[in-house]
């Protein structure tokens, strides 16, 4: 839906892959949230394998708007 107001609205998207799907994409998350995700995982509340590269919070804040939004999830299949 378009945002026809002057209010900022956050939009989120999730893409899930089967464990066997060859997906090289990794999230880049700030290292200050690593303990939170580890705690959820230890409690069994996360339930997902999260491929992530942990980087300093300042690095994430400085680069998050410049990330490539390419279709890294697209895999070209060839007949063998």
Q: What is the C-alpha separation between 65 and 34, in angstroms, rounded?
A: 21
Q: Smallest Cα–Cα separation from 36: which of 58, 18, 54? A: 54
Tell me whether residue 1 is in a domain.
Answer: no
User: How many percent of the chain have pLDDT more than 90?
Assistant: 8
- Determine the pLDDT at residue 67: 66
Question: In this predicted model, what pLDDT tens digit does every residue of 19-64 receive, in sequence order?
Answer: 788 877 788 889 998 998 888 877 777 677 778 889 999 988 887 7
Asked if residue 39 belongs to a domain, the reply is yes
Task: Report whether 30 contacts 57 (CB < 8 A).
Answer: yes
Residue 10 lies in a domain: no
Which range marks the domain in which residue 62 is found? 27-66
Structurally, how many domains does the chain consist of?
Answer: 1
What tokens does 7 get? 């209010």
Give kind and range of the element (H or E) at residue 53.
Answer: strand 52-55
């Amino acid at each position: 839906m378009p945002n026809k107001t002057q209010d900022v609205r956050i939009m989120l998207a999730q893409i899930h892959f089967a464990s066997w799907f060859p997906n090289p994409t990794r999230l880049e998350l700030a290292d200050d949230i690593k303990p939170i995700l580890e705690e959820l995982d230890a409690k069994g509340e996360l339930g997902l394998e999260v491929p992530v590269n942990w980087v300093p919070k300042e690095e994430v804040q400085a680069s998050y708007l410049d990330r490539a939004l390419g279709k890294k999830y697209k895999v070209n299949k060839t007949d063998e």
